[in-house]
Structure 1
Amino acid sequence: MLLYGSTDSGHSYKIRAFLLLTASPHAYQWIDLALPQSHRLAAFVAASKFGEVPVLLDQGQAMCQSNAILMYLAQRVGKLAGAETEWQGVLEWLSWESNRIGFSLPNLRYALRWSAQPPEVLHYLRQRVLADLARLDAAVSAQDFLLPSGPSIADLSCSAYLFWLDQVGIDESAYPHLQRWLARLRALPHWQHPDLAMQAVAPDTSLARDE
């Protein structure tokens, strides 16, 4: 398997985290998103249907959109999928993430770090982030992870950008249940912070085939 991803992309980090946590053999190819499309790696441009990261190549197929890739990997690898009876819950959390924390937090972070926005836009995004964090805090108040059976792709999806909360001026300790949940994720074998997992590295050509 070959993953195209980039620094600061929490969506890419979801996939990289899955591959690392499950010890799935893969190569990671960093993509410089600061480059114009015409200057990016040709193989990535050809594989990326939407011109975005992440893209996963596996068994001759190019896959896009982070939550769709997570679903594919959980079923292909047979790990972090939850119990058979929990798949509906997985789908619900992935759908919630794409519309809520996966929208609000990345956009607030982007506005604060790279693309200044009017105060009213920042206020709107921050209020949405705070509401989403409160929802997650409540969800893990009575259990260790988002699903009763243990860690799953639901946790990877919903937590991906939360390891950068400090970059938007939010202290995770303000949400004690969420803080303990993130600590449990950090304690999983092979877990890496996104700053380490997504850094630009020389490609491992021994695993560069999409198989």
Structure 2
Amino acid sequence: MILYGHHESGHSYKIRTFLLMANIPHEYRWIDLTLPRKQRPAEFQATSKFGEVPVLIDEAHTLCQSNSILMHLAQQHHMFCGTPNEWHTITEWLSWEANRIGFSLPNLRFNMRWNPQPEAVMTYLRERVLSDLKILDRFLKDTEFLTTSGLTIADISCSAYLFWLNQVDLDVTDYPNIERWLLKIQATQGWQSPEMAMKPNDSNH
């Protein structure tokens, strides 16, 4: 199994986190996203349908888009997939993540660090992030994880970029339920921080 990713990509980090916590043998191949797409490794270009990371090669399957990959891995390995009657709830959270926190926070972070935008754009993104965090914190008030059975791919997906909150000048302690939830995820065997898990040219066999 091969995972193509990048150390600044929270979407890649989702997949690496699953593989590490599930203790699934794999090779992590770092892709230099500063290179023009046509200059990236040929094998990556051949497998990345959208020219983006992450890409997972799992035997005959070549998979793109982080939440789709998480669904494949959860079903293939019967891990972090909850109970059968929770699958609908899990896919709801994956869809929410793609449209909300998985959109607002990565874009705010990217524009703050590398691509400054007009003030109105930055304000819009920050307000989206704050709204998303309030929703998530409110939901976690009465539950340990996003489903009652325990940690699932919903938690892995929704939490990935939140380990970089300080990079958008937000303090996780302002969201006590999210802070508690992230600590629970961090306590899971195999978990690694983004800085450790996504180091360039690192691998896990």
Provide the TM-score with structure 2 as the length reference.
Answer: 0.98
Unaligned runs of at least 5 residues, structure 2: none
1:10: which partner in 2?
Answer: 10
Equivalent residues in 2 for 1:38-117, closer than 5 Å: 38-117=38-117
What SS is found at the alignment partner of 2:109?
A: helix
What SS is found at the alignment partner of 1:68?
A: helix
The one-letter code sitting in structure 1 at the alignment partner of 2:108 is L
Q: Distance in 2 between matches of 1:186 and 1:139?
A: 19
Q: CA deviation at 1:203?
A: 5.2
Q: Percent identity?
A: 55
The one-letter code sitting in structure 2 at the alignment partner of 1:110 is F
1:30: which partner in 2?
Answer: 30
| Cα RMSD, aligned residues only | 0.9
Q: Distance in 1 between matches of 2:193 and 2:83?
A: 26
The one-letter code sitting in structure 2 at the alignment partner of 1:79 is M
The one-letter code sitting in structure 2 at the alignment partner of 1:150 is G
Q: Distance in 2 between matches of 1:78 and 1:203?
A: 23
Q: CA deviation at 1:60?
A: 2.1
Q: Distance in 1 between matches of 2:157 and 2:38?
A: 30
Q: Which aligned segments of 4 or more residues in structure 1 are displaced greater than 4 angstroms?
A: none
Unaligned runs of at least 5 residues, structure 1: none
The one-letter code sitting in structure 2 at the alignment partner of 1:138 is R
Provide the TM-score with structure 1 as the length reference.
Answer: 0.95
- CA displacement, residues 12-41 of structure 1 (integer Å, 9 cap, x when unaligned): 000000000000111100000001112111
Q: Distance in 1 between matches of 2:199 and 2:69?
A: 20
